[in-house]
Chains A and B, each alone.
Chain A
Amino acid sequence: MKFTLSWLKDHLDTDKSVDELATTLSAIGLEVEGVEDPAKMLGAFKIARIVEAKKHPNADKLQVVQVEIAKGQPLMEVVCGAPNARAGLVSVFAPLGTYIPGSKITLEKKPVRGVVSNGMMCSAAELELSEESDGILDLPAEWADKVGEAYIDAAGLNDPIIEVKLTPNRPDCTGVRGIARDLAAAGMGTLKPEPKLGAVEGKSECPIDIKLEFSKETANACPIFAGRLVKGVKNGPSPAWVQNRLKAAGLRPINALVDVTNYISLDRGRPLHVYDADKLRGAIRARLGKAGENFVALDGKEYAVDDTMCVIADDNGLLGLAGIMGGEASGSTEATTNVFIESAYFDPLRTAATGRKVGLQTDARYRFERGVDPASERPGLDLATDMILQFCGGEPTKAKVAGKEPIEERVIPFSYARVEKLSGVKLTDDEIAKTLKALGFTVAGKPDAAKVTVPTWRPDVHGSADLVEEVVRIAGLDRIPATPLPRTGGITRAVLTDKQKRARRARRLLATRGFVEAVTWSFIPKEEATHFGGGAPELDLGNPISVEMSSMRPSLLPGLLTAVTRNRNRGASDVALFELGQAYRGEKPEDQYLSAAGVRAGTSHLSGAGRHWDGNAKPVDAFDVKADVFAALFSLGVDPTKAQITRDAPHWYHPGRSGALKLGPKTVLAYFGEIHPATLKALDVEAPVSAFEIFLDALPPEKKKSRAKPALAVSDLLPVTRDLAFIVPKDVPAGDVVKAAANSDKVLIRAVNVFDVFEGGSLAAEGKKSIAIEVTLQPATETLTDQAIETITQKIITDVRKATGGDLRS
C-alpha cells in the first residue's frame, strides 16, 4: 500500500514530519517499508528558460545555450545535445554538483569539446519521471513565470511517498482514510470530517436493473449490489493531481472513469467498477458461474468460471469475476458517454477461493478477500458519482440498491482490567476509552463491565483480547514494562528428555571421530527415495519446488551420499560426513524416526586420510564404520558387544560386507557396512564408501541406576593369558568362536581377543581358516595352578569345537 503525504493530509490534520508519521505507523502495526522523498532526490532541479541557443563551435550535434535559471540573475552557459533545445523553451536545469538519478552521475565542471558547461538541461528520463529521453523536458510556455522554482514544486511532485506493508487483518487500512484514522488515534493529528459531496442523487430512476440471483445458501456471495447510471459523461484523462497520486501508488492512470474507481479503492479501501452502459444488455446480475462460461477480462486474457465463483453478468453473458476483475468488452473507454457504477460487497472467502483458482491477484481481490467495510457500498457509490460529475460532467440517476448491507453488529463485553491483565501495562480508564473511540469503537457502560461496539470496517475485532491489542498498540508497546518471568524453582534443573540427551551426545561423539556434521534436505529425488525403501505415493509432495526435492527421505544416507559426490566435484574426496535428524517410514507422526547416519568416503579413517610419510590411509571398509557404531552406542549407554550382529543389512549395503546390530530379531539398533556398488552407481558416487545408520528411537532406555557407582573390585593377582588357534570352516564367524570361548567360564575369563585370522595357504584349499584368540583369565582369590589353567583351556577347546566344529591348530 503506497500513498503520498499530501494524500494522507486530505484525511489527517497534522503538523508532524513524514519521519514521525512513519515511525508511528511502524510502531502501531502498519509497518513502513519505505519512504521515498522526491525533495531529497530531485530538490535541486529548477525550472529554467533557454534565452539563446547557438551551435557548438566544435561539434555538429551540440548547442551552446544561455539559460535563465532565476529571475534577474546572469544567464548560465550550458552545453546541450538535445535536438529540441531552442530559444524560448522552458525546461529543467540541474546545477553543477547535482546527482542525476536517471544516469547515475554527479555533474562536474568540465569542458565539453572546449566549452565549459555550467550545468545540464534535463530530460524526463534523467529525472526518472518517464522513459522519455529523446529531448529535454518541454514544459508549457506559461511556466516561464516559474523560472527558478524547484521543478517538483511546480509540477506538484514534492510529495513524499510512504509504503506500508499491511497485515491481512486490516482491510480498513487498504484505504488512506483508515491509515489516517489509526494515526489520529495515536496522537499524530486529527481525523478530518468526511468531505461534503455535491448533488449526486439524480431525479430519474436508474434504468438498469440489478438482480441478485442466489439460493439461500449462497446468498452471502453478494449480499448487496448498489449501482448508478451517469449519463452524458465526457471521459478523458483525469486531473493531474489524481494521476500523480495514482502513479505514486504504483498504478497507471487510464482514463477519468477508471481512475476514479482506482482512486477510491486506494483512498477508502472501497473497490468499485465502471461499465460502459451502452454495452450492457438487460439487467445486471450477480450470480454463481456456470460450467462452460468464460469471458475475456480487462487484462486481455480469457478465463473460464465454474459454479463456485461469483460472477457479474447481463443478458449477453459474463461481465466479470465479482470482486476480482471486470471484462474487457463492457469496460469504459475514452468513448464512453454513459457509465454505470458498481459498488457491491463480495464474500471474502469466495473471492479468495476464486482468485486462487483462476490465478488472478488484483487490487479489488486484495480488498474483498480481507473484508471490505460492509457499510461502504452507498457512500462509495456516492463518492464515485461526485468525482465523475466533477471530472467528466454528466447527469446522475437515482442509486439502485439490490440486497442489504451484511452488517452484523458486534458488541463485546469488556472489562478495562483486561488490558493490564494481558499486557502488563496500567492505563487509565480515560485513555482506554479515548483510544477505542478514536478508532471508531462505541463504548458504553462502566469500565468493569463495558459494552464495546465494533465499527463496521473492523472485521478482525471479535473479543476482548482484540480490544486489548487495539488499546495497547495505540498506547505504544514501549510503555509495557519488561517484567521478570518468575523462576520455577531455585537452581535450574535439567530439562532435556533422555532421547534429547542422547541425540546431543551422539552428535558430539561422532564429531570426535572426525565426522563433520551436515544438515541435508528432508525431501529428496523420488528415485533416490525409492532406492532406499521409500518413495511411497503418500510421501510424495503434491507441489514440490523441484523434482530434486519431491519425496520425503526414508533414510539420511541418500542426502549424505550425494553430498559426498558434490564434495568430490569440488576436489574433496576423503570425506567423513554425518547427519543427525529425522526420516520418514510413513506419513503418521509415529512413522517419523530419529537417525544418526554417517558416511566415510575414500580413505577418511579415524586416524586420518590420504597419503602420509608414516603410512598411507587405506580405503575405508566395513570395520571403520562398525567402530563408529560401537563407539557411538557405548557413549549412549548401550553395550554393543551384548547385541547380535547379523548379515541382513538392507540392500543398499554390500551383501557380503555389511551387518545389522540387533537386540532380538525385531529391534535393529544399527546397520553398517560398505555401500552396495549398485547403489553407488545409482547415486553417481565413487567407491569406496562405507556408511552406518543408528536408530536412536530403537535404543533401549538407559537403566536408571543409582548415581553412586558400585565399589571398585580389583584383584591384586596378576591376570594370565593363553593363546589358542582354531581351524574352523571358512564361513564360521569369528564372533561365534569368541562367544563360545567367553562363555566357557564367565567368572574367570575376563576378555577374549582375536589377534590373528589366516585364510591362505593350504587352509584355503580345504575351505578352512585359522582364528587365533588370546584369552585373559583373571583369578579372583588365589593364583591359578597349572592344573586349573589346563582345565579351563580344555573346556574352551571343547566348547569352541561344539559351537563351531573347529579344532585346535596343531
Chain B
Amino acid sequence: MTETRTDLTKLESDLLAEISGAGDLAALDAVRVSTLGKKGRVSELMSKLGSLPPEERKSFGQTVNILKTKVAEALDARKSDLEAAALDERLKTERADVTLPVRLGPVAEGRIHPVSQVLDEVIEIFADMGFSVAEGPDIETDEMNFDKLNIPAEHPARQDHDTFYFSPKADGSRLLLRTHTSPVQIRTMVSQKPPIRIIAPGRVYRMDSDQTHTPMFHQVEGLVIDETTHMGHLKWVLQEFCKAFFEVDEVKMRFRASHFPFTEPSMEVDIGAEAIGKPGQWLEILGCGMVHPNVLRNCGLDPEKYQGFAFGVGLDRLTMLKYGIPDLRSFFSGDLKWLSHYGFSMLDVPTLGGGLSS
C-alpha cells in the first residue's frame, strides 16, 4: 500500500515534469495520450481498482482522481502557454506596411458642377417661399422670346439681345435660341391660372464672348402673379433670397429704377459686396419689376385684376460671387482640374435645415 502511494507520488512528479517539458503542442498531445488516453498511465491505474481490497478501493480511487485532475489541469495550462507562444511566433511574421496608399474610391472623386449645386441652393430657398420650378425649351420663337414680352421688332431693346437665330424658313419666319428665361413666364401664364409662383432656371444664349460673357449661360427667372403682390413683396423676396443665398444675417441692397420692356415699373438691384467679403463695392446682380400690363394681356390675364412681379438673375454670376470663382468661361470647359477644384461633393446636398453650403 505504502509502496503504491510512493509510486503514485513519483508518477505525479514524473508526469508533471513530462508536461512542462513538452516543447510543442504535438509533444504535449503525446504526453496527454500516454497519461489520460485509454491506455495511458493514469487510466491504467483506474483499471487496477478492481483488484484492490474493498477497504482500499475508496481511498485509492480518490487519490487517483486527484492525480488525474492535476495532470489534466497541467496539460491545459501547458497547452495555453504553448498556444500563446505559437501565436506570438506567428504574429511576429505577420506584418502589413500600413503606410501603403489605398484608393479613396469614387465618393471622394465624384463632383457636382458648381452651377448645378447653386441651382439646388436656389431651388431650396424659393421652395420655402412656395415657388415651384417651371421649364421651357431652348429653341424659341420670336413671339415667345420677344413679342409677347412686349419687345417689338426693330425696337432697340431687341437689338440689345444679340440673338442667335436659326436659318429662315420658307415663310420667312425663323426660330431662335432664347436670350433669357422670360419666355417661360409666358408659357406658364398661358397654361396655368393665378395664383402663380414659379422660378424658371435654364440655359440662355447670346452672341457675346469675352472674359465676362459666354455665348451660353444660365439664368433663373422668378414670377409671382396674383391679385395683390406688389413691389414691396418683390423687395422682401429678393432681400430674403440674398440673405439666405449668401448665408449672412444682413445684405446691403440698392434698388435702382431701370427699364425692361416686360416689366413696369422696373428696377435693377445691386448688393453690397460685404456679403462676399469685399466691402466698399456695389455689385449688380439682377433686374426685376412688376409684370408689364401688356405682357399680362398677351397671356390672356386682365391687368386690372392681376398683377405681380418678375425677376431674372444670372445663375453663373451668383455662383461666381458666392464661391469666388474668377472666370466664367471655365464653367463650360469640362476641365477636370477646374471641376475637381470648384465642384462639390455629391453628399453636400443643400438644405435649409442643414445649411446650403455646409
If A423-B290, A424-B233 are given as contacts, then 17 extra A-B residue pairs at C-beta distance below 8 Å, sorted by A number, are: A29-B258, A352-B154, A369-B154, A421-B230, A465-B265, A480-B235, A485-B224, A496-B127, A496-B132, A517-B111, A517-B112, A522-B203, A539-B166, A567-B336, A572-B336, A575-B336, A584-B139
Given contacts A421-B307, A495-B133, A582-B203, contact A465 B233 (CB under 8 A): no
- Which stretch in A135-143, A471-479, A644-652, A678-686 binds the other chain? A471-479
**B337 / chain A contacts, CB cutoff of 8 Å:** 570, 572
Q: Within the assembled complex, what's the spacing in Å between the Cα atoms of A552 and B332?
A: 16
B128 touches A492 (CB 8 A): yes
**B132 / chain A contacts, CB cutoff of 8 Å:** 495-496
Q: Within the assembled complex, what's the spacing in Å between the Cα atoms of A468 and B289?
A: 12
Q: Within the assembled complex, what's the spacing in Å between the Cα atoms of A572 and B159?
A: 42
Report whether over half of chain B's contact residues are helix, strand or loop; otherwise say mixed.
mixed
B319 to chain A, nearest CB (A): 11
Residues of A within 8 A of B (CB): 26-29, 31, 167-170, 348-349, 352-353, 356, 369-370, 420-425, 460, 463-466, 468-469, 472-473, 477-478, 480-485, 487-489, 492, 494-497, 500, 504, 507-523, 537-545, 549, 552, 559-560, 562-563, 566-567, 570, 572, 575-577, 580-582, 584, 587-589, 592, 606-608, 612-614
A463 to chain B, nearest CB (A): 6
- Chain B interfacial residues counted at CB < 8 A: 90
B232 touches A483 (CB 8 A): yes
B46 in the interface, Cβ–Cβ < 8 Å? no
B103 touches A483 (CB 8 A): no
* Total A-B contacts with CB atoms under 8 angstroms apart: 271
Partner of B265, one of A472, A481, A582: A472
B268 in the interface, Cβ–Cβ < 8 Å? yes
For B324-354 the 0/1 string (1 means CB < 8 A from A) is 0000000111111101100101100100000
- Which stretch in B18-26, B54-62, B113-121, B273-281 binds the other chain? B113-121
Q: Within the assembled complex, what's the spacing in Å between the Cα atoms of A425 and B335?
A: 49
B267 in the interface, Cβ–Cβ < 8 Å? yes
Q: Within the assembled complex, what's the spacing in Å between the Cα atoms of A541 and B268?
A: 32
**B235 / chain A contacts, CB cutoff of 8 Å:** 424, 480-483
**B110 / chain A contacts, CB cutoff of 8 Å:** 510-516
Given contacts A168-B155, A352-B154, A592-B137, contact A469 B129 (CB under 8 A): no
- Which stretch in B30-38, B64-72, B86-94, B167-175 binds the other chain? B167-175
**B298 / chain A contacts, CB cutoff of 8 Å:** none
B246 in the interface, Cβ–Cβ < 8 Å? no
B207 to chain A, nearest CB (A): 6
Closest A residue, CB atoms, query B303: A465
**B115 / chain A contacts, CB cutoff of 8 Å:** 519
B160 in the interface, Cβ–Cβ < 8 Å? yes
B130 touches A487 (CB 8 A): yes
**B266 / chain A contacts, CB cutoff of 8 Å:** 469
**A495 / chain B contacts, CB cutoff of 8 Å:** 123, 127, 130-133
A513 touches B106 (CB 8 A): yes
**B239 / chain A contacts, CB cutoff of 8 Å:** 482
B27 in the interface, Cβ–Cβ < 8 Å? no
Q: Within the assembled complex, what's the spacing in Å between the Cα atoms of A633 and B187?
A: 31
A538 touches B167 (CB 8 A): yes
Partner of A352, one of B107, B112, B159: B159
Partner of A497, one of B112, B133, B159, B236: B133
B256 touches A485 (CB 8 A): no
**B265 / chain A contacts, CB cutoff of 8 Å:** 422-423, 465, 468-469, 472-473
**B74 / chain A contacts, CB cutoff of 8 Å:** none
Please, could you name 18 A-B residue pairs with CB atoms under 8 Å apart, sorted by A? A31-B258, A167-B259, A349-B152, A349-B155, A422-B290, A423-B232, A423-B290, A472-B265, A483-B233, A485-B237, A495-B131, A497-B133, A512-B110, A514-B106, A514-B109, A519-B115, A522-B177, A592-B138
A589 touches B137 (CB 8 A): yes
**A167 / chain B contacts, CB cutoff of 8 Å:** 258-259
